[in-house]
Amino acid sequence: MSRRVQNPSKSSVPISIEERYGSLFENAGEGIFQTSISGRILDVNPALARSFGYRSPEEMKKDIRNVSRQIYTDRHLREKILRRVEARGHAKFEFQFRRRDNTLGWGYVSKHAVRNGQGRTAYYESFFLDMTAHRELEEKLREARDLLEQRVVERTRKIAKLNRDLTADIAERKRSSGNCGPARRICNSAPSSSRHSTSPCALSWNSGRPIERKSNGGS
């Protein structure tokens, strides 16, 4: 006989545990499903059916014969998860799934084993969250971060090249200034009148060395 509980609204009409569970199962926002040990779907709620592209739970149950082959993109993943569930009683994991139209998505699942009176697994019950939008956002953020890092590297290289070019230009200017140094010092030390005159003491330059010119009328 079903256990019955009082309606929270204090109505005189009692509600059974099965009725309350059925209401939660049907109206839950997250997906709920039950599968056999072999991988056959026993029951799904409307939220899960919608996540996989089906119009109703009945349509999904009719179409899916084996979840490992038709839902999991990694056909060996379910076996690994079930070994963990059998050892611990439950498991939580993310996986890539295939929808009815063969598009791919990402889901988060919490799975536990339902045992019979002898302690053996009768079936598995799972709660499912569609993480596709979250994973797509993470991927876009990763791509944006990678692009930003690439631009920083490129900008750093350009700045380093500019610094090298500037350093080389400064060094070249210093060398040029050093070569003109002796002539500039001598020229600057001479009286201004003699720098621009053609007198006998005028200086001419040959290979950077001063040569005294003598006038034609000189002794």
**Band (219; pLDDT cuts 50, 70, 90):** very low
DSSP conformation letters of 123-163: EEEEEEEE-HHHHHHHHHHHHHHHHHHHHHHHHHHHHHHHH
pTM above 0.85, yes or no: no
CATH code: domain of residue 26: 3.30.450.20
Range of the structural domain that residue 62 is part of: 4-130
Residues 31 and 126 in one domain: yes
What total of structural domains would you count in the chain?
2
Q: Residue 109: in which H helix or E strand, if any?
A: strand 104-115
Residue-wise pLDDT tens digits, 120-172 = 999 999 999 999 998 888 878 787 888 888 888 888 888 888 888 888 888 88
Residues 15 and 123 in one domain: yes
